Structure 1
């Protein structure tokens, strides 16, 4: 369904961004236009953290 597709897309996007930034969460959050805490919360919801 739509929620699963969106979660998968977000998970892939965050994983790729973290890889580009050597798992520096603050830098990845900046690139994604998110606050670091919000990125962390989203990653936890998606099972990345």
Structure 2
């Protein structure tokens, strides 16, 4: 495994300079689930919730 530049020899986190790092384009995809009572969803859909 590669050594991490943001850890010192004792494994403590340290700041690193990323000012010269080449810009890269990244895309992230996220999914989620929301659980609620059916009445709550009805009120949201009817725009009765502020």
TM-score with structure 2 setting the length:
0.27
TM-score with structure 1 setting the length:
0.27
Q: Highest Rg: 1 or 2?
A: 2
Q: Which has the higher contact order (CA 8 A, sep 6+)?
A: 1
